[in-house]
Amino acid sequence: MDRGRRDFLRTGAAAAAAAAVSGPAVLRAQGKGRVRLAYLQLGWAATEIIHKEDLLGKRGWQAEYSIIAGAPGPLLNQLASKNVDAIDMSFALAAKAFEDGVPLKVTGVATAVLGAIVARKGAGLEKVEDLKGRKIAAIVGTSTFFDIRALVLKGYGFDLQKDTRIVTATAPPDMVTLLGKKEVDAIIAWQPITDSVVFRGEGVYLTKQIDLWRKATGRASGFPVHVCYLVHQEFLGKNAAIAKDLNDAQKDAVDIWYNKPQRAMEIVAEVTKLPRDVIQVAHKETVRMLHGLPDEQVDTLIAQLKINKEFGFLKSAVWDNPDRIRKEFFHRT
């Protein structure tokens, strides 16, 4: 017993000496420096999990996380002005910001398309073509509306903006209210707003954005992206490790999303403030959480950019050149 006690004390002393040399655990975790990651409160991209599990901190970063409520514009402005180093963002808006001169790089993806057309129960809408001439609530300036309009035009041959009666909303709750009051026949929205309407029994899914994509492009595999990760080029140039670490953190977050769903939903509830029942529906209905930038994913993203250019959302000639896109818009490790 005396020998065991002496061995224990010697081992403890050695460990204490090592700790004194290497510094406290908190300081060692800051070895890669500071990174400021901001994300949308309703981004629905598993970034909440990176935050609450501090998955960047576990990779050696002194991570500062910010939750931004409301529309994506202010979040993009925070990146452009270098008030933050990395953000989650709509892929279409990321491309628009890039062609407008914001010095950013897409370092990874976060979630597949989240949009859908939800029909009011009892409105008599059974297929996409039934939308012609009907009243539809939408936030016209959003990338979701533009994407769905382009996909319907390409896949079904009619223009939602011209062949239906669009009722312009200013925020997702406005669309929910209009549908609840039976002032519109359908809404064009995205998760988790669409799921909340379906959960309450006021609407049914007429079609999801992923289904419109499959019909319009003929692509049976691959996932078009709704949300991606952006890093400011200046920060990335000085901190190249952030690209891989952010993708690895997203992979861990996706693992939690699918393998520890109760923990994932607990985190999402804490951040979004949505009712637990709505989150459960949205978790089940989410098309696919994603991570990284594999070759197949990049090919799908380039196809998305081509459609956005074809139908006028994007203007730059860069989107006509896949090699330039790979070199200038994406950052792959």
Q: What's the DSSP call for residue 326?
A: I
φ, ψ dihedrals at 60, nearest 5°: 95, 5
The structure tokens listed for 333 are: 């490790």
Q: What is the pTM of this model?
A: 0.86
Mind listing the pLDDT tens digit for each residue in 248-266? 999 999 999 999 999 999 9
CB half-sphere exposure, 233, CA atoms < 13 A: 11
What are the Cα distances from residue 60, in Å, to 125, 216, 251?
Answer: 52, 43, 16
d(C-alpha 74, C-alpha 87), whole Å: 11
d(C-alpha 268, C-alpha 265), whole Å: 5
Residues 6+ apart with CB under 8 A from 44: 111, 114, 190, 191, 192, 227, 268, 282, 286
Q: What's the DSSP call for residue 32?
A: T
Domains, the chain, with CATH or none: 29-113+223-329 (3.40.190.10), 115-217 (3.40.190.10)
What are the Cα distances from residue 72, in Å, to 88, 89, 123, 175, 326?
Answer: 9, 7, 32, 18, 24
The predicted structure's pLDDT at residue 273? 92
The structure tokens listed for 23 are: 């510094």
The predicted structure's pLDDT at residue 5? 36
The predicted structure's pLDDT at residue 200? 87
The structure tokens listed for 176 are: 């929910």
φ, ψ dihedrals at 314, nearest 5°: -105, 150
The predicted structure's pLDDT at residue 22? 33
Task: Quickly count: other Cβ atoms within 10 Å of residue 252's Cβ.
Answer: 18
Is residue 128 classed as helix, strand or coil in its secondary structure? Answer: helix
Contact 156, 206 (CB under 8 A): no
The predicted structure's pLDDT at residue 196? 87
Which parts of the chain register pLDDT below 70? 1-30
d(C-alpha 63, C-alpha 60), whole Å: 9
Contact 106, 230 (CB under 8 A): yes
DSSP letter string, 53-117: TTTTGGGT-EEEEEEE-S-SHHHHHHHHTTS-SEEEEEHHHHHHHHHTT--EEEEEEEEE--EEE
Residues 6+ apart with CB under 8 A from 219: 213, 300, 303
The predicted structure's pLDDT at residue 333? 81
Q: What's the DSSP call for residue 140?
A: T
Using only C-alpha atoms, what is the Rg of the chain? 23
The predicted structure's pLDDT at residue 221? 85
Angle 260-56-274 from CA coordinates, rounded to 5°: 50
* Order of all β-strands in the sheet with 115-120: 165-168, 135-138, 186-190, 115-120, 203-208
| 136 strand-pairing partners | 166, 186
